[in-house]
Amino acid sequence: MPTELAVLGAGNMAEAIVRGILAADTIPAARIVACDVSARRREFFERTLGVRAVESPAEASAGASRILLSVKPHQVREVLAAAAGSIGPDCLVVSICAGISAARIERLLHPIPRPRVVRTMPNTPLLVGEGAVAIAAGTHAGAQDMAAARALFAGSALVVEVPESQLDAVTALSGSGPAYFFLLVEHMIRAGVEMGLAPETARDLAVRTAAGAARMLEKTGESPQELRRKVTTPNGTTHAAVSTFERLGLPAAVGEALRAAAERSRQLGEELSA
């Protein structure tokens, strides 16, 4: 049976993507092959996901119509060199490797003529089926290739298309974004404990509040500014907290933090491409 998807690198993110594919019945397990140097990860994919797993990138890639490139950025050159002889000229390569440009992957796929590459930036909530993924076309990827890449993530994430030049901004906003969210919740819990709440109570309340607020943003369609206005009574408790955030410079800090993340993403891309 022909391979529809070869997964080069069977880590946690690749696992989440494959789980989404299987849950959405996008590709049957029998037509997916995973590759990883770790025997433990290969065994996991076979036993838990029902996906054949091999150690050789060349074996996994042979005859595949799509490849999910999901290794560590510093492993891309080695893995593609090992797989290149088995990758067909019509194969679509979808990369989730941070900092590795589509152009660099295209060069590493030489001598394949006009290699079709789609670069993506997923985030970790994909692991629980609530991800956000931006996809960007490489030099030779067309509309059908973008649709094929989108289908790999649709079962576990919101997917948006952007120019590759915007992926550094995407990295800063949604790629790294969960950590900002976790940081805020971490400090909300700490403050709750300092004010006398039991740690488990503070955690339960903070997590549920954060999850509920995110769901309100998603379900109501209202702007965050409008939702914040509705809960902020003049001179009330929320007003006291929000005013303190503003006085301490939270709006400026958020903007500076995202710009720093975007700049570091750009620098990493240059370093990895050097």
pTM score of the predicted model? 0.93
* 99/121 Cα distance (integer angstroms): 9
* 273/145 Cα distance (integer angstroms): 24
Band of pLDDT at residue 13, cut at 50, 70 and 90: very high
In this prediction, residue 203 carries a pLDDT of: 98
Q: What is the pLDDT of residues 216-267, one digit of tens each?
A: 999 999 999 999 999 999 999 999 999 999 999 999 999 999 999 999 999 9
Mean pLDDT of 73-102: 94
In this prediction, residue 244 carries a pLDDT of: 97
In this prediction, residue 1 carries a pLDDT of: 73
* 71/216 Cα distance (integer angstroms): 36
In this prediction, residue 110 carries a pLDDT of: 87
Residue 174 DSSP code:
I
- Prior bond of 111 cis (ω within 30°): yes
Q: What is the pLDDT of residues 108-162, one digit of tens each?
A: 998 899 999 999 999 999 999 999 999 999 999 999 999 999 999 999 999 999 9
In this prediction, residue 53 carries a pLDDT of: 98
Residue 274 has pLDDT above 80, yes or no: no
In this prediction, residue 84 carries a pLDDT of: 86
Sequence-distant (6+) residues with CB within 8 A of 51 are 7, 18, 29, 32, 33, 34, 45
Mean pLDDT of 186-191: 98
Q: What average pLDDT is seen over the chain?
A: 96
54 DSSP β-pair partners: 35
Band of pLDDT at residue 272, cut at 50, 70 and 90: confident
Q: What is the pLDDT of residues 18-63, one digit of tens each?
A: 999 999 999 999 999 999 999 999 999 999 999 999 999 999 999 9
